[in-house]
A and B are shown apart, each in its own frame.
Chain A
Amino acid sequence: MSTNILEVKDLQKVYPNGTHALRGVSFDVVKGEFLVIIGLSGSGKSTLLRCINRLHDPSSGSVKFNEEEVTTIKGSDLRQVRSKIGMIFQHFNLIPRKTVLTNVLTGTLSKTSVTKSIFGIYSEEDRAKALSLIELVGLSGKENHRADNLSGGQQQRVAIARALMQNPKMLLADEPVASLDPATSHSVMQYLKKVNEELGVTILCNLHFLSLVRQYATRVIALKGGELIYEGSPKEIDEEWFRTIYGEEAVEVTID
């Protein structure tokens, strides 16, 4: 059995408006990695993550998750695969006006029948699990607060709990700390690290700050204009690579 949880081959994405966002991207992800994707704005990072769980349909190429081809599946098969891949977003994307607990419970939707979920009927087990995940992300006592009244960092932690509720094998994180302040960024990254190391969840994460990349990534890939131009360890990103990835005039900004 292969240790690759994800194999991406020659992935292309052309949006209906003609934008060629991915131009033949190939890479593998080993189980348990914390893989960070870097690249300029518009280089195709978000597109790449969304092609993996099919929020966007790739134009061509192949994505294998646990050796199962996901670019061609549909309906309940697709939902089955999605349920094993958690996702968190830059803007958290919680359900407004709903409590923290309800938000975390939406992580079980794929395993709950449509009618039950509409009437808010979840099993005791699921509720207990949701509460323990809320505790895990340090939000005990907040389970009945409205999610949209929490601070940005707290909302992102709710989103992590929601993703963990899926029992994911892999987590996609699209710039999870881009709208947070430095201190909060670190705390959220710490939680992701914990999820990665203690729960063994493989993580694919888009990041902007190289200081965060060096601190958390086990491996880095870089995109530029929809092509993969770098793959290696975070320590190997030197001045020269930095210029190639971000352009001649770029200066590194740090976050600590």
Chain B
Amino acid sequence: MSTIKETTLPKHLQYKETGFKKSSNVIQALSIDILLWGYTSLVTYKVIYQKLIMNMRHADFTWSQPLAALGVGAIISLILFMTKFSIGRASKGLYEIDENETYMKQPFMFLGYFIIILTFVVGLQVSQVSMREFLSEAGLTGARRIFTALFQPNFAIIEPALFAAVETIYMAFIATAISLPFAFLLGFFAARNLMSNSPLTFAIYNLVRFYLNISRSIEPLVWAIIFSVWVGIGPFAGMLALCLHSISSLAKLYSEQIENISDGPIEAMTATGAHPIQVIWFGVVPQIVLPYLSFTIYRWDINVRMATIIGLVGGGGIGTMLMQYQGLAKWNEVGLLVIVIAIIVWIMDYSSSKIRASIK
């Protein structure tokens, strides 16, 4: 008698060299080449030729240009595909390269280096980096005026500034506090180990994960703009925006924490005949409270910064105040607000990291 273990490799690890697989690799390799060369042709024409060499002010854009570039790219790719210069072939492993040789000196890297340099040059042009403007006489006087004003903050507005700062901190706190129970619940639904037992719970898990990913990828700033149309400009709109983002971020962090806990206490509680809610309360919760607390405090810290930024689009608090004075070009007042914000951010950062370190 012997132990027979049926071991089957997961699909993606089973290696079968089939004709189809090979030709699809070639197609992918060629597509990579065409895209890279197409990109190279397009930006070389638009930026290097039209802007830098011909110095055109308003080079007009037509959709035929990228198409033509792709065409040029395709021709170049087809020619180079036969040689040692194809990045596509290299990335699909279609070259036989000696294990001891480094990739850095291979011919196909030539295009790679070229694209990096090209992109850097184009980047400078697109972001309009200009030393002339940076060092221009008028520009420097303006900057000097603002900087002197900033360094002479107007302490007359310290009282309203502090009130606005307090408003921001409270807004961030309330947003964190309101998010907490929602994130706490969602965290369980987004934890793979708790949800992968039955098809129904696994479907819920996927749905929740999807929602969390989508809502997290939309910046709080955008939510703030949406909500300020909905409930009017002010702290409430800012708070709603923060809440939405905090719920998703916290739920994600919480669920990852749940996925990392040890099964032991859960098994032990289940074995006593405890109700599933009791199993979670005694088997899961004690393992996660401290990390949760730490995440939540960190989130409050993040929310104070975000609340300041959201204030710039009318979410209330010190950000809104900053925006108003900036609009009036009252630089001494702006200087004071910048100092107040810096101090708050520093205090929050310092105390939150201290608290988190002490509850490890």
Closest B residue to A50 by CB, please name it. B267
Closest B residue to A229 by CB, please name it. B1
Point out the residue from A106, A114, A227 that lies within 8 Å of B269, measured CB to CB.
A106
Residues from chain B with Cβ under 8 Å of A18 in the complex: 6-8
In this complex, how many residues of chain B approach chain A with their Cβ under 8 Å: the count is: 27
Closest A residue to B290 by CB, please name it. A97
Query: Is A106 touching B274 in the complex (CB atoms < 8 A)?
Result: yes
Query: Is B272 touching A109 in the complex (CB atoms < 8 A)?
Result: yes
Asked if B282 is an interface residue, CB under 8 A from chain A, the answer is yes
Query: Is A95 touching B5 in the complex (CB atoms < 8 A)?
Result: no
Asked if A2 is an interface residue, CB under 8 A from chain B, the answer is no
Query: Is A166 touching B273 in the complex (CB atoms < 8 A)?
Result: yes
User: Could you tell me the distance between the alpha carbons of A18 and B5 in the complex, rounded to whole angstroms?
Assistant: 8
Point out the residue from A19, A86, A93 that lies within 8 Å of B264, measured CB to CB.
A93
Quick check: which of A76-84, A133-141, A191-199, A235-243 contacts chain B, the rest being far away? A76-84
Query: Is B6 touching A19 in the complex (CB atoms < 8 A)?
Result: yes
Query: Is A95 touching B273 in the complex (CB atoms < 8 A)?
Result: no
- Bin chain A's interface residue count: 35 or more
Residues from chain B with Cβ under 8 Å of A107 in the complex: 272
Known contacts A18-B6, A95-B286; is-contact A89 B268 (Cβ 8 Å):
yes
Point out the residue from B8, B264, B267, B274 that lies within 8 Å of A109, measured CB to CB.
B274
Residues from chain A with Cβ under 8 Å of B283 in the complex: 95
Query: Is B286 touching A96 in the complex (CB atoms < 8 A)?
Result: yes
Point out the residue from A81, A91, A162 that lies within 8 Å of B273, measured CB to CB.
A81
User: Could you tell me the distance between the alpha carbons of A159 and B264 in the complex, rounded to whole angstroms?
Assistant: 12
The majority secondary structure among interface residues of chain B is helix
User: Could you tell me the distance between the alpha carbons of A109 and B5 in the complex, rounded to whole angstroms?
Assistant: 38
Residues from chain A with Cβ under 8 Å of B275 in the complex: 79, 109-110, 114
Q: Which of A19, A96, A172, A229 has the most CB of B within 10 A?
A: A96
Point out the residue from B1, B7, B272, B281 that lies within 8 Å of A83, measured CB to CB.
B272
Closest A residue to B10 by CB, please name it. A17
Asked if B116 is an interface residue, CB under 8 A from chain A, the answer is no
Point out the residue from A80, A118, A162, A225 that lies within 8 Å of B281, measured CB to CB.
A118
Known contacts A20-B6, A96-B287; is-contact A85 B282 (Cβ 8 Å):
no
A35 to chain B, nearest CB (A): 18
Closest A residue to B6 by CB, please name it. A18
A220 to chain B, nearest CB (A): 18
User: Could you tell me the distance between the alpha carbons of A227 and B188 in the complex, rounded to whole angstroms?
Assistant: 38
Closest A residue to B281 by CB, please name it. A118
Closest A residue to B264 by CB, please name it. A93
| Chain B 154-182: CB-based contact to A (< 8 A → 1; otherwise 0) | 00000000000000000000000000000
Residues from chain A with Cβ under 8 Å of B112 in the complex: none
Query: Is B271 touching A53 in the complex (CB atoms < 8 A)?
Result: yes
Closest B residue to A166 by CB, please name it. B272
Sampled A-B contacts (17; CB under 8 Å): A19-B6, A53-B271, A78-B273, A79-B274, A83-B272, A83-B273, A87-B268, A91-B264, A93-B265, A95-B282, A95-B286, A106-B269, A109-B273, A110-B275, A117-B281, A118-B281, A162-B268
